[in-house]
Amino acid sequence: MQDTIIVKGQVLSFRANPFDGDPAGAAQLDEALTLEGGRIGGRGSFASLRARHPQARVVDHGERVVMAGFVDAHAHYPQTAMIASWGKRLIDWLNSYTFPEEMRFRDPAYAAEIAARYLDLTAAHGTTTVCSYCTIHPESVDAFFSEAQARGQRVVAGKTCMDRNAPEGLRDTAQSGYDDSRALLGRWHGVDRLSYAITPRFSPTSSPEQLEAMGALWAENPDCLMQTHLSEQTDEIAWVKELFPGARDYLDTYEAHGLLGPNGVYGHSIHLEARERDRLAETGAALVHCPTSNTFIGSGLFDMAGLMAEGQRVGLATDTGGGSSFSMLRTMAAAYEIAQLRGTALHPAQLLWLATAGSARALRMDDRIGNAAPGMEADLVVLDLASTPAIAQRAHRAGDIWEALFPTIMMGDDRAVAEVRIAGRAVA
């Protein structure tokens, strides 16, 4: 049984979705919270928590912000070593950089090395939960889950399935993709803090037969998430239309094969048609905004304001390594910049919600993670709002918490991450 710890600081949590009304009013600030057995026990004034737990150890973060750890809703951990690879559009980028690197993950030792490196890097940036694609190799899934399990970390992952339009050595078949995924799901899903996601990479690399097999597996395991890519680039959409001439649109290539549902998580979703937007909202599926990737690979500008106004379920993600940073702070900054290009200035509360509770909601985990509230799992990040001279001099002039936080969102990096806790235990 872990001893109770009182954590002091500017404890930031959310009592509502800041996109539904006054953004600042959706948030709550407290003086302290308690950690009890890997969960958040209570929050409120320091005096009240101290009176309730007179023997508790106190960790005092002063004016630093204590909040839920960041939740990265779409990433590719096997692309860790090739992040920031120069100058390609999506399809060429996959062929030039991604697929050669993913070939290496048939080696369990290499997969284990990169899994550990990736989780070290993301934790250093304040990320406590990630939803990741693996490679076609079962060894890559075992490595990622094993490393996360050893850390007591909540993660989602799945074997990437591809049976066409990929190099020899990175293709499975409809049957082997189903069989491997089913076996991995049975081995890992629901063990400790691990969840399996059924993972067809995207329609161009899966035949209709494989999409059908993945749809069948999802129907057999509807509590699992299903993750894939949707409408990332215009040339990709044109390719999908060539490969699926009978489909109404890109989303229909999934829908026709049983791969549209409330537990679906669709990365990018930039160039959506009206029917696709309607169907995604009707089913309660999740869209994941990957802003650093969308600008780095030249994909387009995600319609955050329009999609939120429709009631879409939206998360935020780095999309490592198409995304150019492991940092969710950098990701929030890029989301702000893309929204500005579309005529909307996202409030700091909205950005922080997207990186925590919003992404947890996209992964159907907002009852467990993504908010520094009583009963939630104690995954926390502590942000230093004066981590560099440039940030400090701007924050010094702030008139409220949001003006103090915004420079860290826009200019912060791992130096702003003062502490990270996973299940209540300090890890960074």
Structure tokens at 289: 């905004």
| Residue among 175, 105, 177, 182 at smallest CA distance from 139 | 105
* Region class of 350: left (phi > 0), else alpha (psi between -120 and 50), else beta: alpha
The answer to whether 128 touches 368, Cβ cutoff 8 Å, is no
pTM for this model (two decimals)? 0.97
Could you give the CA distance from residue 301 to residue 319 in angstroms, rounded to a whole number?
A: 15
The answer to whether 117 touches 320, Cβ cutoff 8 Å, is no
Could you give the CA distance from residue 260 to residue 249 in angstroms, rounded to a whole number?
A: 13
Q: Which of 319, 334, 362 is a domain's end point? A: 362
Specify whether 390 is located in the same domain as 377: yes
Specify whether 325 is located in the same domain as 403: no
Specify whether 127 is located in the same domain as 92: yes
SS3 410: helix
Q: What is the mean pLDDT of the chain?
A: 96
What pLDDT, in 10s, does the model give residues 33-90? Answer: 999 999 999 999 999 999 999 999 999 999 999 999 999 999 999 999 988 888 777 7
Q: Which of 330, 362, 394 is a domain's end point? A: 362
Specify whether 211 is located in the same domain as 297: yes
Specify whether 84 is located in the same domain as 165: yes
Could you give the CA distance from residue 25 to residue 314 in angstroms, rounded to a whole number?
A: 20
Work out the number of other CB atoms within 10 angstroms of the CB of residue 243: 17
The two beta strands, 194-200 and 225-230, are parallel
SS3 315: strand
Task: Provide φ and ψ at 135, rounded to 5°.
Answer: -110, -175
The two beta strands, 225-230 and 264-268, are parallel
Specify whether 40 is located in the same domain as 86: no
Specify whether 120 is located in the same domain as 80: yes
Specify whether 400 is located in the same domain as 315: no
Could you give the CA distance from residue 269 to residue 288 in angstroms, rounded to a whole number?
A: 7
- Residues 165-169 have a mean pLDDT of 92
Could you give the CA distance from residue 410 to residue 311 in angstroms, rounded to a whole number?
A: 27
Using pLDDT thresholds of 50, 70 and 90, give the confidence band for residue 323.
confident
What pLDDT, in 10s, does the model give residues 184-193? Answer: 999 999 999 9
Specify whether 188 is located in the same domain as 324: yes
| Residue among 32, 41, 36, 39 at smallest CA distance from 8 | 32
pLDDT of amino acid 321: 87
Q: Per mean pLDDT, which range of 6-10, 118-122, 319-323 is the poorest?
A: 319-323
Q: Which of 310, 338, 362 is a domain's end point? A: 362
pLDDT of amino acid 1: 44
Separation of first and last alpha carbons in the chain: 22
pLDDT of amino acid 2: 63
Specify whether 226 is located in the same domain as 262: yes
What pLDDT, in 10s, does the model give residues 311-321? Answer: 999 999 999 98
Q: Which domain holds residue 269?
A: 70-362
The answer to whether 362 touches 308, Cβ cutoff 8 Å, is no
Could you give the CA distance from residue 89 to residue 298 in angstroms, rounded to a whole number?
A: 7
Sorted by sequence, the CB contacts under 8 Å of residue 37 that are 6+ apart come out as 1, 2, 424
pLDDT of amino acid 30: 98
CA angle 391, 394, 395 (to 5 degrees): 80
Query: What does 218-252 look like in DSSP terms, one character per residue?
Result: HHH-TTSEEEEEES--HHHHHHHHHH-TT-SSHHH
The proportion of the chain whose per-residue pLDDT surpasses 90, expressed as a percent, equals 93
Specify whether 326 is located in the same domain as 388: no
Rounded CA Rg of the chain: 21
Is the pLDDT score of 200 beyond 50?
Answer: yes
| Residue among 66, 387, 348, 24 at smallest CA distance from 395 | 387
Specify whether 12 is located in the same domain as 104: no
- Residues 14-19 have a mean pLDDT of 98
**How many distinct structural domains can be found in the chain?**
2
The answer to whether 319 touches 363, Cβ cutoff 8 Å, is no
User: Which CATH number is 349's domain given?
Assistant: 3.20.20.140
User: Which CATH number is 58's domain given?
Assistant: 2.30.40.10
